[in-house]
Amino acid sequence: MNKKFYITTPIYYPSDKLHIGHTYCTVATDAMARYKRMTGHDVIFLTGTDEHGQKIEDKAKAAGVTPQQFVDNIVLGERGVKDLWKLMNISNDRFIRTTDDYHVAAIQKIFKKMHDNGDIYKGSYKGKYCKPCESFWTESQLVEGKCPDCGRAVEDAEEEAYFFRLSKYADRVRDLLENTDFLEPRSRVNEMVNNFIKPGLEDLCVSRTSFTWGVPVDFDEGHVVYVWVDALFNYTTALGFMNDKYDDYKDYWPADVHFVGKEIVRFHSIIWPAMLMSMEMPLPKKVFGHGWLLLDGGKMSKSKGNVVDPYVLAEKFGVDALRFFLLRTFPFGSDGNFSNEALIGTINVDLANDLGNLLSRTVSMVDKYFGGTLPVVQTADDEKDAELVSLISGLRAAYEEQMEKYAFQNALSEIFNVISRANKYIDENAPWVLAKDMDANGARLARVMYNLLEVLRVSAVLLTPFMPTTSVEILRQIGACECCSTWEAAGEYGALKADTTVVRGENLFPRIDEAKMLAELEAEREVAMKASAPVEKPEGCALIGIEDFMNVELRVAQVTSCERVPKAKKLLKLEVDLGYEKRQVVSGIAKFYAPEDMVGKKVILVTNLKPAKLCGIESEGMILASGEEQIRVVFLAEDTPLGERIR
Ligand code: ME8
The Cα–Cα gap between 502 and 453 comes to: 9
- 47 residue type, one letter: T
Instruction: List CB contacts of 493: < 8 A, sequence separation 6 or more.
Output: 389, 392, 393, 454, 458
* pLDDT exceeds 70 at position 474: yes
Q: How many CB atoms lie within 10 A of CB 88?
A: 20
* pLDDT exceeds 90 at position 301: no
Q: Which atom of ligand 1 is nearest to the CA of 22?
A: 29
Q: Give the H/E segment covering residue 293.
A: strand 293-295
Q: How many CB atoms lie within 10 A of CB 340?
A: 18
Question: Is pLDDT larger for residue 480 or for residue 17?
Answer: 480
Q: What is the mean pLDDT of residues 494-513?
A: 95
Q: What is the mean pLDDT of residues 470-484?
A: 97
Q: Which atom of ligand 1 is nearest to the CA of 338?
A: 11
The Cα–Cα gap between 320 and 157 comes to: 47
pLDDT value for 233: 98
Q: What is the mean pLDDT of residues 377-389?
A: 88
The Cα–Cα gap between 209 and 191 comes to: 32
* pLDDT exceeds 90 at position 361: yes
Q: At 158, is the pLDDT very low, low, confident or very high (cuts 50, 70, 90)?
A: confident
* pLDDT exceeds 90 at position 302: no
- Cα–Cα distance list, 592 to 570, 583, 584, 598 (Å): 9, 22, 20, 11
Closest CA relative to residue 362, chosen from 400, 388, 323: 388
Q: What is the mean pLDDT of residues 352-377?
A: 96
pLDDT value for 382: 84
* pLDDT exceeds 80 at position 153: yes
CA 264 – ligand 1 centroid, Å: 7
pLDDT value for 606: 97
CA 487 – ligand 1 centroid, Å: 32
Question: Is pLDDT larger for residue 275 or for residue 526?
Answer: 275
Determine which of 306-320, 341-355, 523-537 has the lowest per-residue pLDDT on average. 523-537
The Cα–Cα gap between 413 and 419 comes to: 10
**N-to-C CA span, the chain:** 72
pLDDT value for 406: 97
Question: Is pLDDT larger for residue 646 or for residue 308?
Answer: 646
Q: What is the mean pLDDT of the chain?
A: 94
* pLDDT exceeds 90 at position 350: yes
Who lines ligand 1 at CB under 6 A?
10-13, 21-22, 24-25, 50, 231-232, 234, 260-261, 263-264, 292-293, 299-300
Q: What is the mean pLDDT of residues 207-228?
A: 95
CA 25 – ligand 1 centroid, Å: 8
Instruction: List CB contacts of 378: < 8 A, sequence separation 6 or more.
Output: 443, 444, 446, 447, 450, 498
Cα-based angle 441, 434, 510 (whole degrees, multiple of 5): 135
Closest CA relative to residue 563, chosen from 539, 589, 537, 531: 589
CA 379 – ligand 1 centroid, Å: 55
Phi first, then psi: give them for residue 407, nearest 5 degrees.
Answer: -95, 75
Q: Which atom of ligand 1 is nearest to the CA of 14?
A: 22
- Cα–Cα distance list, 378 to 313, 319, 393, 426 (Å): 45, 38, 19, 17
Task: Provide, rounded to the nearest whole percent, the portion of the chain with pLDDT above 70.
Answer: 99
Angle between helices 319-329 and 468-477 (to 10 degrees): 110
Q: Which atom of ligand 1 is nearest to the CA of 15?
A: 22
Q: What is the mean pLDDT of residues 485-505?
A: 96
> pLDDT tens digit string along 431-462?
999 999 999 999 999 999 999 999 999 999 99
> pLDDT tens digit string along 176-188?
999 999 999 999 9
Which of 7, 8, 22 gets mutated to test ligand 1 (max ligand atoms within 8 A of its CB)? 22
> pLDDT tens digit string along 87-111?
999 999 999 999 999 999 999 999 9
> pLDDT tens digit string along 108-147?
999 999 999 999 999 988 888 888 877 778 787 888 899 8
pLDDT value for 370: 97
245: left (phi over 0), alpha (psi -120 to 50) or beta: alpha
pTM of the model: 0.83
pLDDT value for 305: 67
* pLDDT exceeds 90 at position 74: yes
Task: Provide, rounded to the nearest whole percent, the portion of the chain with pLDDT above 90.
Answer: 84
- 274 residue type, one letter: A
Torsion of CA 411, 414, 417, 423, to 10 degrees: -90
* pLDDT exceeds 80 at position 45: yes
Angle between helices 20-38 and 319-329 (to 10 degrees): 90
